[in-house]
């Protein structure tokens, strides 16, 4: 029997879908406005603080950098029309376009705007290093020796050492260009008075209620047919904190787009194998693809717990549960079972053959060998997680019990888990790693011995001289194919020692109204709206 809340939800969904079918006449204004929802308030519209996905989505509409990433993770020109790399891949010299204008503002004087010049990038990167500003993006410049404007149209960056992923790093919103005169005028209030160069310009922000951007009629990019971008007139963002309410608004047609899959509505819109239900197929499109996020369990390699010190038990855990079954039951098939290493599908270096498959009998044998060798007849471990991932941990708990291993699941707040794992206070814990920039080096940095937490992201304290040698060699390799081979070797070394249990490689899943065209998908889950159109219902 279904629970009352479940029945009520189904009733509301049917009513809203029927209402939506009878109210498809859109005004011309509505036809040109793209509407979506954020679950929490955006912290800042200053790109120097674009750390969370909500902030990144918003600032991406307002700002540009030297370069940008396409949907296939290729670095493309943006404000820099071209660049050359010299001095053994340590010097990057960018030539800027001369037709990029800042959004209009009275402080610019007579013309209310001006073109972007190289010194604007010098100022913008200086802000990242400024300790009084305390940008969370300051680390982006860790490998930079110096940078300077050689003239108005030429900007140069020199690195301390070769770093093949550097151009990808420059695509991050932290590296966007901002105008000095406007930022200095507003100070910290630039967060809510942003002036950039992006396809949309800031219009209005009622915090926790609504945020509105309008079309930038002076935007410099064009589509493949030579038409000016963007195609939309405006972007409107609401701030409903509840995901179920957000989905009801989507079903009603009041917002155009929903990203991600929440437990409150996943069974309503998707079948158990991840297909769109027929109730929605006439009004909704679903897009899905790899997302650069690896969900995993991690062992602290300096633990004193005998069970977790043993390689045989760590391997038994990796072999002892069915990842495909877990994804079907708990995620409606959204996500890729992790049969490879730590590098997710979608990045060069990924290899689906180097990990662990479901082999319960082999897992049982390893547990039996551990018991015989140590005299520990009832091995027991504790897995720490947050409430959001309790269902996954309980699934693994039940499966591992079948191979003779008792797992206790400890649920703590996300902030507590974050602090505890950074300080080596957890022996076995759930974690995830979303790419800061689209290069496998970002993932492998978690296993470099010089990056031990809390001074770096190596939360497992995994250490291998061979791994470190390959990791440092990858910095010097400029051939992408050879570098990918090094990445795969490193990932394979990690899985041989099993400091982690990869669970799944995430997928982006997006639901849009049929009226929305041109909304693509990418492995960084970036919301790209400059190519989006909305067609009226009579055009469908």
Mean pLDDT of 271-285: 90
For 126-179, write each residue's pLDDT tens digit. 999 999 999 999 989 999 999 999 999 999 999 999 998 899 999 999 999 999
Name the pTM for this structure: 0.84
For 135-233, strand residue ranges (E) read 144-151, 154-159, 200-206, 210-215
Are 35 and 238 in contact by the 8 Å Cβ rule? The answer is yes
Q: Which helix (H) or strand (E) holds 234?
A: strand 234-238
Look at residue 538 and tell me whether its pLDDT is greater than 90. Answer: no
Amino acid 195: pLDDT: 98
Amino acid 517: pLDDT: 95
Look at residue 20 and tell me whether its pLDDT is greater than 70. Answer: no
User: What residues are paired with 516 via a beta bridge?
Assistant: 534
Please provide the average confidence, as pLDDT, over all residues in the chain: 91
Amino acid 4: pLDDT: 44
Amino acid 340: pLDDT: 96
- DSSP 8-state secondary structure symbol assigned to residue 446: G
Amino acid 3: pLDDT: 45
Quick one: pLDDT band at residue 71, thresholds 50, 70, 90? confident
Look at residue 302 and tell me whether its pLDDT is greater than 50. Answer: yes
- For 271-323, the DSSP string reads -TTSPBPTTTTTTEEEEEEEEEEEEEEEE-TT---HHHH-HHHHHHHHHSS-H
Amino acid 118: pLDDT: 98
User: Measuring CA to CA, which residue among 433, 435, 430, 434 is closest to residue 417?
Assistant: 430
Quick one: pLDDT band at residue 266, thresholds 50, 70, 90? confident
Least confident range of 9-13, 118-122, 247-251: 9-13
Cα angle 409-411-412, degrees, rounded to a multiple of 5: 145
Mean pLDDT of 295-299: 98
CB atoms within 10 A of CB 195: 24
Mean pLDDT of 385-410: 96
Are 531 and 223 in contact by the 8 Å Cβ rule? The answer is yes
Mean pLDDT of 428-449: 93
Look at residue 369 and tell me whether its pLDDT is greater than 70. Answer: yes
| Bond into 91 cis (ω within 30) | no
Q: Give the C-alpha separation, 478 to 170, whole Å.
A: 17
Number of residues in the chain? 540
Q: Give the C-alpha separation, 83 to 90, whole Å.
A: 13
For 23-62, write each residue's pLDDT tens digit. 444 445 556 999 999 988 899 999 999 988 999 999 999 9
């Amino acid at each position: 029997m279904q629970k009352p809340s479940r029945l009520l939800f189904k009733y509301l969904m049917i009513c809203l879908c029927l209402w939506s079918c009878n109210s498809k006449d859109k005004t011309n204004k509505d036809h040109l406005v793209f509407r979506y929802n954020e679950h929490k308030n955006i912290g800042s519209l200053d790109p120097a603080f674009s750390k969370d996905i909500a902030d990144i989505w918003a600032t991406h509409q307002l700002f540009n950098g030297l370069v940008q990433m396409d949907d296939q993770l290729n670095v493309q020109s943006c404000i820099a029309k071209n660049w050359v790399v010299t001095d053994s891949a340590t010097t990057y010299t960018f030539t800027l376009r001369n037709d990029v204008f800042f959004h209009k503002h009275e402080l610019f004087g007579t013309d209310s705007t001006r073109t972007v010049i190289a010194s604007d990038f010098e100022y913008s990167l200086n802000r990242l290093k400024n300790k009084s500003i305390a940008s969370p993006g300051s680390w982006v410049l860790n490998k930079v020796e110096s940078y300077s404007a050689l003239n108005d149209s030429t900007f140069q960056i020199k690195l301390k050492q070769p770093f093949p992923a550097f151009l990808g790093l420059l695509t991050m919103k932290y590296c966007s260009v901002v105008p000095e005169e406007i930022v200095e005028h507003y100070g910290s209030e630039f967060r809510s008075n942003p002036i950039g160069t992006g396809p949309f310009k800031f219009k209005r922000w009622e915090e926790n209620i609504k945020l509105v951007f309008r079309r930038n009629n002076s935007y410099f990019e064009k589509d493949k047919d030579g038409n000016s971008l963007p195609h939309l007139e405006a972007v409107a963002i609401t701030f409903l904190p509840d995901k179920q309410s957000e989905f009801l608004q989507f079903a009603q047609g009041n917002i155009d787009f929903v990203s991600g899959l929440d437990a409150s509505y996943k069974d309503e819109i998707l079948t158990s194998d991840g297909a769109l239900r027929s109730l929605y197929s006439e009004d909704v499109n679903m897009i899905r693809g790899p997302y650069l996020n690896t969900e995993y369990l991690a062992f602290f390699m300096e633990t004193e717990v005998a069970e977790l010190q043993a390689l045989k038990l760590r391997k038994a855990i990796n072999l002892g549960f069915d990842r495909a079954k877990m994804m079907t039951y708990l995620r409606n098939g959204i996500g890729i079972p992790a049969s490879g290493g730590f590098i997710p599908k979608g990045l060069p270096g990924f290899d689906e053959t180097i990990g662990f498959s479901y082999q319960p009998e082999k897992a049982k044998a390893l547990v039996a060998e551990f018991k015989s060798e140590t005299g520990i007849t009832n091995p027991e471990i504790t897995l720490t997680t947050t409430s959001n991932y309790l269902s996954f941990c309980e699934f693994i708990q039940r499966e591992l019990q079948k191979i003779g291993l008792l797992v206790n699941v400890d649920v703590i707040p996300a902030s507590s888990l974050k602090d505890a794992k950074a300080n080596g206070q957890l022996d076995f814990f759930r974690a995830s790693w979303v790419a800061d920039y689209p290069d496998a080096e970002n993932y492998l940095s978690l296993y470099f011995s010089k990056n031990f937490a809390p001074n770096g992201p190596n939360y497992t304290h995994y250490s291998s001289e061979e791994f470190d040698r390959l990791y440092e060699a990858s910095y010097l390799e400029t051939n992408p194919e050879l570098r990918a081979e090094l990445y795969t070797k490193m990932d394979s070394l990690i899985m041989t020692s099993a400091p982690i249990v990869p669970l799944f490689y995430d997928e982006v899943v997006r639901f849009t109204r049929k009226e929305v065209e041109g909304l693509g998908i990418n492995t960084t889950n970036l919301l790209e709206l400059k190519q989006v159109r909305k067609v009226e219902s009579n055009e469908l």
